[in-house]
């Protein structure tokens, strides 16, 4: 498993796409943690959201977003809407 795969597994591929712009431009991790907690009824732990944010920032800091988006586009376990959004982000890079 590559480092990018590990990061995506920790974030969640759908979550990475759902909060792509937020992760990309994050300047306040605590505010983003609260946003994710408020918008996703399945999340409960602030520390887990901080882990997601840290892994997402690692992807962007290391210019691995194209690799991550490619993995999401080629995933067999995601809905078409999520893959379509990933393709849009990929094409904008």
Burial of 10 (0-12, 13-18, 19+ CB in 10 A): middle
Domain ranges of the chain: 3-92
Q: Which of 48, 44, 56 is nearest to 16 (CA)?
A: 56
Q: What is the pTM of this model?
A: 0.95
Give the model confidence (pLDDT) of 25-76 as tens digits: 999 999 999 999 999 888 889 999 999 999 999 999 999 999 999 999 999 9
Contact 11, 55 (CB under 8 A): yes
Tell me: pLDDT of 89 over 90.
Answer: yes
Cα Rg, the chain, nearest whole Å? 12
Centre a 10 Å sphere on the Cβ of residue 32 and count the other Cβ atoms it contains: 21
């Amino acid at each position: 498993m590559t480092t990018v795969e590990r990061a995506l597994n920790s974030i969640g591929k759908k979550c990475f796409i759902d909060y792509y712009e937020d992760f990309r431009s994050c300047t306040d991790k605590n505010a983003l943690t609260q946003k994710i907690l408020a918008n996703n009824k399945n999340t409960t732990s602030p520390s887990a959201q901080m882990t997601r944010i840290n892994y997402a920032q690692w992807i962007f800091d290391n210019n691995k977003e194209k690799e991550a988006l490619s993995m999401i586009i080629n995933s067999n376990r995601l809905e078409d809407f999520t893959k379509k959004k990933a393709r849009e982000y990929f094409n904008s890079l």
